[in-house]
Amino acid sequence: MPLNSKRNPKPSITISNEIVIKVSEEFVDLTGYYKEELLGKSYKELSKTLKTNFFDKFESISDEMSVYIFTKSLEPREVIISKKIDHDKTDILYFFHEKENSRIENKFLYAEQLCFDNKYGIAIYSAPDITLLKANEKYINYLDEPFNRKENCIGKTIGEIVKDFNENKIREKWTNVISKGETCYVKDFMSDRHGTGVTYFDSSIVPIYENGKVKYYIENRIDVTDRMRNKVVIEAQAAEIERRDKKIEAIMDLADEQISIFDKSGRLIKISKVILELFQANKISNINDIKDEIMIFDVNKNKIQFEESKFSYIEKGKEINNYRVIIGARNFEKHVVISGKPIFDRKGNFERYVLLIDDITEAVQAKIIEEQKNKLEAIIRNMSDGLFTIDKEGDINILNSSAKDFFCNIGLVNKISENLLKVKFYDSNDNIISPENMPSYRVLRGEKVNGYRMTLKRNGLEYHFNVSGSPLYDEGGDIAKALLCTRNITEQINSNVIIKMQKKQLEAVIENISDAIYIADKEGKIILMNAEGRSFLSDSYAVKNVEDFNATKQAFDTSGNEIHVENLSLKCALRGEKIRNRTVIIRRLDKELTIRVNSTPIYDTSGNLIMALACYHDITDLAEKEKIIVEKYRQLELLKEEAEIANKIKSLFLDNMSHEIRTPMNGIFGTIQLLEKTPMSEEQSKYITLLKNSGNKLLTTIIVQFYLNNFTVK
């Protein structure tokens, strides 16, 4: 019978050459793994997946064995494994029979609920090998890395997952449980957890019996770290209570105005002078009375509810260290630093609270003023505009580095009057400004100056300034100083001059260029038209917008089709289209022009279309010359055709003549040959020879002419 016979419905796997080659549906249901996750695995990989190495154990157990395997969700399943071997195929079939009523989640409903609640650490181990079968997240978190993850600890023995197991007292307790079979309790056990912090827990280990034998161990761990820490703190505090009690009265005497004392319920035992003045309340008997009187803000002016502030620490007995807040009530605002400590009795019970409030409002305000002063000085020192003040005596007080350009030898002269003797200032009309009309004196008389243009001429150079100024008043309302601000606009003035000159040059170039130039804004209004552009139009004054171009002329393409106004060059450019070297024919009432058109849209730095440019180049003469050349070429073609026809006629004539001449010539030569054979006198023979030579010359001439004619035709 085949090893994979369907007559056996048990969960099974088939292994051949140490590789899984078949997985039954029942095994999939048992473990939760897909077949694809198991097929092709080696037996070692399968052992790692199921978290049990039963293959090697079969070397000593031939029939069957009881082990725990683990599902994909890491749930334990107690199974009896048996095997069959196909000796012919070298296949091994393993059967997995799950024991009835063996599932832990059904056996221990109470422990299962505790695991689910995750309030305490719960773990279930198998006996006697102490293999971890099930544990909740709380318990797993107690373990060291990497075993503090479920996939790394389930299926391993306690000796594998607990570091230093052989050295700590947990091993001793486990040994007692295993040997005696009795419940064991471990109290206040300390675990270092290897760098993640010291924790304390209480542990109970309970053996679970089945059929008179220990089947499982259930361990319950409860974290008591806070309890142990509080115990240590209480013991330390108890040692200091007596020493603190002895110092309290001395401290109260030294800081009577700042220290207040509350009992554990928040009732005031002693109120400080600071609290009475700070909260402007004569009757404060409880911390809650303060709550009703004030508003609390952090240093960034964010409001804090009283219950969320550290004032609530007083009733809770928590320590306050240099807690800085802003307290506001009615018509005042105070910056304070609060510190406080709880006082415990000899048994460690919270008894009293000492509160110290330090009013730092004046110090904070002084710091703010100092910071503002420093910022203002830094701004004045580094600003690009010149800034200076002049008092009523004409002394220059405040002066930043940019203002030094306004003065001559400012390091040697500290009075405005002395400085004006060394330099001359001119107004925008190039008139000398008298001292009494200088901005500094005008401001000292109570006048405000705004954007007054001045020119300083020094060492053959000109410096241009914009000057503004305002009077500064003292507490009595009298003018104390003049504040003046100077801006050096020399570069701007010089740049404007250069720009104006370049603008004029550009306008002259555009106006006199041989091409017609048209520029329209984004609404289609013509904003520039040069002289050549005006000459293209029969009435340039009538063209105000792009649509007006066809009012004075008509435009056609090279095929004679009229160009609609929407397809004119400027219209295309306003749509973002470019035109390159388009030939257009313009027909006016007085003449017709042929032009080459180029146009392009113009964008600003943000990519927005702002205008359109069109350039027309008159190529009328060139077009006319092209027409003449074309006509001449056509005439040459006709002459060529006529010459070819004449040549053909001549060739035909010569061919015919050659034939007609050769026939009689052949007769003549035949007659001469007959005469040469006839007896003749010497004189007759001479004439026959002359006749023969003349005939040969004529025949040669005809042949040469014939070949020349054929060569010419070819």
CATH number for position 164: 3.30.450.20
For residue 435, being part of any structural domain is answered with: yes
Last residue of a domain, one of 569, 591, 618: 618
For residue 502, being part of any structural domain is answered with: no
Candidates 164, 202, 209, 167; CA nearest to 186 is 202
Residues 198 and 248 in one domain: no
pLDDT greater than 50 at residue 3: no
Residue 642 belongs to domain with CATH number: 1.10.287
Last residue of a domain, one of 98, 113, 136: 98
Range of the domain at 466: 383-494
pLDDT for residue 1: 41
d(CA 107, CA 75): 13
Residues 111 and 209 in one domain: yes
Residues 601 and 634 in one domain: no
Highest mean pLDDT among 254-268, 324-338, 572-586: 572-586
d(CA 703, CA 435): 120
> pLDDT band at 5, cuts 50/70/90?
very low
Residues 194 and 296 in one domain: no
> pLDDT band at 225, cuts 50/70/90?
confident
Report the first-to-last Cα separation within the chain, whole angstroms. 103
pLDDT greater than 60 at residue 411: no
For residue 506, being part of any structural domain is answered with: no
pLDDT for residue 109: 81
- Number of compact structural domains in the chain: 6
Residues 111 and 213 in one domain: yes
d(CA 623, CA 283): 109
Residues 184 and 246 in one domain: no
Q: What is the mean pLDDT of residues 459-480?
A: 88
For residue 378, being part of any structural domain is answered with: no
pLDDT greater than 50 at residue 325: yes
For residue 126, being part of any structural domain is answered with: yes
Q: What is the mean pLDDT of residues 485-494?
A: 87
pLDDT greater than 90 at residue 598: yes
Least trusted range by pLDDT, from 241-255, 306-320, 510-524, 606-620? 241-255
Last residue of a domain, one of 460, 494, 528: 494
Residues 87 and 117 in one domain: no
Q: What is the mean pLDDT of residues 281-308?
A: 77
Least trusted range by pLDDT, from 518-522, 602-606, 671-675? 671-675
pLDDT for residue 76: 92
> pLDDT band at 448, cuts 50/70/90?
very high
% the chain with pLDDT above 70: 86
For residue 231, being part of any structural domain is answered with: no
pLDDT for residue 247: 61
Residues 441 and 408 in one domain: yes
For residue 370, being part of any structural domain is answered with: no
pTM for this entry: 0.36
Residues 692 and 581 in one domain: no
Amino acid at 356: L
Residues 246 and 360 in one domain: yes
Residues 534 and 561 in one domain: yes
Residues 111 and 203 in one domain: yes
Report whether 400 contacts 494 (CB < 8 A). no
For residue 376, being part of any structural domain is answered with: no
Q: Looking at residue 433, what DSSP letter applies?
A: P
Q: What is the 3-state secondary structure (H, E, C) of 461-527?
A: EEEEEEEEEEEEECCCCCEEEEEEEEEECHHHHHHHHHHHHHHHHHHHHHHHCCCEEEEEECCCEEE
d(CA 277, CA 259): 13
